Structure 1
Amino acid sequence: MRKLISLIVVMAGLWGGYWFVGSSQLEKGFKDYLAKELGPDDPIRLSYSDLTVQGFPNRFDTRITDVDLTNTINGIRWQAPFFQIYALSYKPYHIIAALAPQQVVTLPKQEFTIKSEMIRGSVVFLPKPLFSGDVIIDRSSFEMVNVTAASDKGWETTISKGNLALRQTPTKPLFYDLAISAQGIDLPDQLRALIDPAHQQSALFDSFKLDSTLGLSNPLDLTADRGEHPKVTEIEVKDLTIHWDDIRFLAKGTLQIGTDGYPVGKLDLTAVNWQKMYELADQSGAVDPDFAPTIQNGLKVLAGMSEGEDVIEIALNFADGQMSLGPFPIGPAPRLY
């Protein structure tokens, strides 16, 4: 019995020593990293009043207080009373981050106060590379519940639930599966007045869902220099669905991203209840009256080539830095970098 008690005491002492050494190194590492990466000479600046690591004996709980993060180039600023990072002391490669229930985001011409029931994320790093010096993301998730963003311009919007999940694609190290969803988006009055001035649709936007896979030039390594951050080389949209009352918009397809940053490929688009979409565009002033009959006739022709009068199916093509909707050119393609 004495030997067992002695063994327990020794193990407890070793574990306590591990925690205190680990927590002090973690705290010092955080402070050194932030001072190095976001110092006073950097265009992205961070200030805080305190940074501590607690959670003895089974967790490393890092709390940063009075966070103020500013991008001096574009004038974007984020302020929060605290930011917390949690990790089990026996599983340090899996961390959970939680945001304060109220934050302030400042843009060059607008300020938002963000309140939430919950905003939380988690990241799991590859264990082996972690100990070799690299910090490569294996999977990550982000979720929020009942988030309200109120602008100093007098409008606000609410999202009842949102999720983002990212994971390294099995057997393909440079590919990541990305899924994003949002439900119950309460459209602000100003935006609704622009896209639905006659109030034909509900003020509550039903849902947005994206299931995709991204190809990257490099792994998602947090230790990489800024110039080595990965670039997107491929976008596979397996399912993009937007649902608003009786309107549905769907897309799927694959785009290759060239070295010039322009996409090449096509997305197959499906518009359900296209007549209502046209009415909304017309009432919002997006349709030129001189071309309205031509546009309507063209849409009817496309519907006749699809699976029913209410459905239009057409390809959105990307090539040579330009976009075309079916055979019709519509302008320059977006450039990713």
Structure 2
Amino acid sequence: MKKVLIIIAALCLLASGVWFGLAAASKSTLAAWFEARQADGWLVSHDPIEVKGFPLSLNATIPNLELADPETGWLWSGPAILIDQALLSAGDISVTWPSAHVFATPEARFDIASAQFQSNLQLEPTRNLAVSGAATQLRDLTLQRANDAAWQASLDAATITFTRLQNEDQTYDLNAAIEGLSLPQGLRARLDPAGVMPTIFEQSSLDATLTFDRPWDLEALEQARPQFTAIQIDEASAIWGDMVLRASGAVTVDAQGIAEGDLALRAENWRAMLDMALRARVISQDLYQMLDGGLGLFAQLSGQPENLDIILRFSGGAVFAGPIPIGPAPRLILR
């Protein structure tokens, strides 16, 4: 029995030594990564990193973190970010975002608040931390634009997954389900000035397959984002009151972010959508009249004039609704 106790004590000491060694290595790795970003010209600020979780996990807390990339104009700051890693599974990482944090792009700065903001990542340590899977859960989230009290969006819940296809380094399945999405008050007032529509979108979803010019790995954060080369939408849908919009199709994307391909749309109560686009100044009065006449003819021919089934064609940098040119196509560039 004495020998058994000695062996158990030795194993405990060995396990403790391993954990403390890995904890020190984890803290050192994080600190070195932040120092490398500073050397690249980033703004980096944080309080001392703490690592806990003995004996089965490594739970790193980075207090008062602020990261800003001057090249892209992105900024993130929050009171603390928690990174949890199972000791026996180096590639499985859980990130808990703070209940209140700030995210900024070159266009705007946003305050984010949520009851839950959790991301679970499956990374490949031997391949520059390439993402093989990611899942994010959101609950009771609000997005407030800085210096604009009328601009606030919110959602009740959302689940977003991003999974690399087997045997494909640069192609990923994206699935998103959003419940209780509420648009900013100013935009909602332009779309629905009479206030007859529900305040929230009942449900929105997206199932798509995305191909990029390179994998999503650590380089995507440190240097530049991978860019689209192809997008296949199996199904995208949004329901707002009596308006339902569904889409599917596929496009290729060139190096300038210009799409080529077709997108099939089904719009239920489509004229209400067209009216909203006009009120929101998405389309001009002239284009509204042209679309109303042309699309109305398509809808009449289908036998259901309140619903519209049509193909959006992306070609030569422009978008066409059937034979009707709508305008220039948006450039699909990730900053």
Same fold (TM over 0.5): yes
Distance, in Å, in 2 between the alignment partners of 1:76 and 1:173 is 26
Q: 1:331 to 1:223 in 2, by over 3 A?
A: closer
Quote the residue 2:21 is aligned against: 21
Superposed CA RMSD: 2.5
Residue 162 of structure 1 is aligned with which of 148, 158, 165?
A: 158
> Quick one: which amino acid aligns to residue 87 of structure 1?
Q
Quote the residue 1:302 is aligned against: 298
> Quick one: which amino acid aligns to residue 38 of structure 2?
G
Give secondary structure in 2 for the equivalent of 1:267.
strand
Find out whether 1:198 has 2:194 as its counterpart: yes
Quote the residue 1:153 is aligned against: 148
Q: Structure 1 stretches of 5 or more lacking a match?
A: none
Q: 1:68 to 1:293 in 2, by over 3 A?
A: closer
Deviates more, 1:173-182 or 1:57-66: 173-182
> Quick one: which amino acid aligns to residue 190 of structure 1?
G
Q: 1:284 to 1:307 in 2, by over 3 A?
A: same
Distance, in Å, in 2 between the alignment partners of 1:285 and 1:61 is 49
Aligned ranges 1:260-279 → 2 under 5 Å: 260-279=256-275
Quote the residue 1:45 is aligned against: 43
Distance, in Å, in 2 between the alignment partners of 1:164 and 1:67 is 24
Q: 1:266 to 1:113 in 2, by over 3 A?
A: same
Deviation at 1:191, TM superposition (A): 1.3
Could you tell me whether the CA contact under 8 Å between 2:169 and 2:214 is conserved in 1? no
> Quick one: which amino acid aligns to residue 76 of structure 2?
W
Find out whether 1:139 has 2:136 as its counterpart: no
Give secondary structure in 1 for the equivalent of 2:5.
helix
> Quick one: which amino acid aligns to residue 159 of structure 1?
L
Residue 221 of structure 1 is aligned with which of 213, 217, 220?
A: 217
Give secondary structure in 2 for the equivalent of 1:315.
strand
Q: Output the TM-score relative to the length of structure 2.
A: 0.89
Deviation at 1:92, TM superposition (A): 1.9
Give secondary structure in 1 for the equivalent of 2:149.
coil
Q: Structure 2 stretches of 5 or more lacking a match?
A: none
Deviation at 1:229, TM superposition (A): 5.1
Deviation at 1:174, TM superposition (A): 2.6
CA deviation vs aligned residue, 1:119-158 (integer Å, no higher than 9, x gap):
11010123xxx2x463221100111100123343212332
Quote the residue 1:188 is aligned against: 184
Quote the residue 1:7 is aligned against: 7
Distance, in Å, in 2 between the alignment partners of 1:138 and 1:106 is 27
Q: Output the TM-score relative to the length of structure 1.
A: 0.89
> Quick one: which amino acid aligns to residue 190 of structure 2?
L
Q: 1:332 to 1:276 in 2, by over 3 A?
A: closer
Distance, in Å, in 2 between the alignment partners of 1:327 and 1:157 is 35
Distance, in Å, in 1 between the alignment partners of 2:68 and 2:178 is 27
Identity %: 25
Quote the residue 2:80 is aligned against: 82
Give secondary structure in 2 for the equivalent of 1:91.
coil
Distance, in Å, in 1 between the alignment partners of 2:104 and 2:168 is 39
Give secondary structure in 1 for the equivalent of 2:115.
strand
Find out whether 1:315 has 2:305 as its counterpart: no
Find out whether 1:328 has 2:324 as its counterpart: yes
Deviates more, 1:111-120 or 1:141-150: 111-120
Q: 1:230 to 1:98 in 2, by over 3 A?
A: same
Could you tell me whether the CA contact under 8 Å between 1:196 and 1:284 is conserved in 2? no
Number of aligned positions between the proteins: 331
Quote the residue 2:245 is aligned against: 249
